[in-house]
Amino acid sequence: MKNLLKPIFFLLISFLLIGCQKDQMIDQEPTTIDVVKSWYANNHNPRFDENPYFSGQPDWSNYFQIEGQIYIPLVSLSYNTSRNQLKISDLENKVYAKPYLVLQEKSQNEFKESLQVFLTSNESNFESNTTMLGLSYLKYGYDNKTEGKSLGFFQSKKEKIDPSIAKLPHLNAPIVKTDCDTFYVVQTTTSSEGYVQNVEIIATFEVCGLGNYSSGGGGNSGNGNSGTGNNSNAPEFEEESQPWPYPHCSSWEYAMRNGVRGASVTGMSELFVQMDIDAGGIYTNNVWVSFPTLYFTAPIGMTNGQAATATATAMAVAQDETNKWFAKNPRSTDDAVTWHYYDEMRKQMQKMYGSVSTINTYNMINPTPYREDLYSTGDCR
């Protein structure tokens, strides 16, 4: 009897071990970074690749996470000896830039993509993530559904970077002006092992009448008494001193189309700018909202000219209402600003018994390019 029980006992143990191994295989869950990598492979917006700060490839092995935001450094996969490296050591005015791909979790396995570029005059500030997160930074966003884009600039109180850096669209050559200094944006790309692979000047910008901004290298000497009025600690943008352009009524060429008085407009876009101040510094948020094509309807009782004039006025009100809302919510995402602006458009069109949509319900063709005017919405009646 004992001899019979032994094989039965060993057989039961074998089945239990096989069952445990199967359970272990089934229970394996993908890690956070695996989910992020999969999302990135299928949803990365290629418009980021056109940004000069987006150099190298995401280093998935060296990411860090702060609450719902995942920071992935960009690294070089091949060695490149920069021809600019020797020149950089001789430059007085340097701003070091370190880019991170940032993915913010919106819902389960869904993320919002942005590019965050930390800025400093002391490259050693990048060695600690805690120190780096307190630096000034640029933040870029691109909308996947529209042509919208956003640029945020955070001005840290710990070390100030001149806000002129936020105006850099691409690499540009130094321009010599009176009482102006050329600053060089230096980007260091590392390998996944942490070795410096490439050091190069990716952009330059001009700062006129230097005041209290920290630059490194002693570049501020002799400029403190310029008297230009640009010595405030708060960022100043030229765009803010210019009048906001108005949507012009000539953008809407209404006509009877498939039973409705309709008009289609292409390239309608607006820039919304707000500033927020807190204990850490000053954050300027620029959101560029753009719609490839919008489709409008107006009451049949209106003439084409009356409909165009009324629509331009309605769109101007929508812009104004969005600016008021943005002033109360200055750190809103580009998605939030876009959808609030679109919702205001619909509200204002409903007030005139019309409509606006991103869907071409009435099969409108030949959209009119969006036009603006610095002085008024115009009179197309």
User: Domain limits of the chain?
Assistant: 32-225, 246-373
Q: Give the pLDDT confidence score for residue 318 in this predicted structure.
A: 95
Q: Say if residue 259's pLDDT is above 80.
A: yes
Locate 136 and state its tokens: 């000034």
- For residue range 279-323, what is the model confidence (pLDDT) as tens digits? 777 788 888 888 989 999 999 999 999 999 999 999 999 999 999
Q: Give the pLDDT confidence score for residue 121 in this predicted structure.
A: 85
Q: Give the pLDDT confidence score for residue 349 in this predicted structure.
A: 96
- For residue range 61-77, what is the model confidence (pLDDT) as tens digits? 888 988 778 999 887 65
- For residue range 210-228, what is the model confidence (pLDDT) as tens digits? 444 333 333 333 333 333 3
Give the largest CA-CA distance in the chain: 107
Q: Give the pLDDT confidence score for residue 31 in this predicted structure.
A: 62
Q: Give the pLDDT confidence score for residue 204 in this predicted structure.
A: 59
Contacts of 289 (CB under 8 A, 6+ apart): 146, 148, 269, 270, 271, 272, 334, 337, 338, 341
Q: Say if residue 369's pLDDT is above 60.
A: yes
Q: Say if residue 264's pLDDT is above 90.
A: yes
Sign of torsion over alpha carbons 32, 331, 131, 83: positive
Q: Give the pLDDT confidence score for residue 226 in this predicted structure.
A: 30
Element (H, E) at 294: strand 281-298
- For residue range 152-174, what is the model confidence (pLDDT) as tens digits? 888 888 888 877 777 654 444 44
Contacts of 143 (CB under 8 A, 6+ apart): 149, 290, 334, 335, 338
Q: Say if residue 8's pLDDT is above 80.
A: no
Q: Give the pLDDT confidence score for residue 379 in this predicted structure.
A: 93
Is the pTM higher than 0.85? The answer reads no
Q: Give the pLDDT confidence score for residue 172 in this predicted structure.
A: 40
Lowest pLDDT segment from 42-46, 122-126, 175-179, 332-336: 175-179
Contact by Cβ (8 Å): 326, 271: no
- Kindly write down the DSSP assignment for every residue of 180-210, as one continuous string: EEEEEEEEEEE-TTS-EEEEEEEEEEEEES-
Contact by Cβ (8 Å): 281, 154: yes
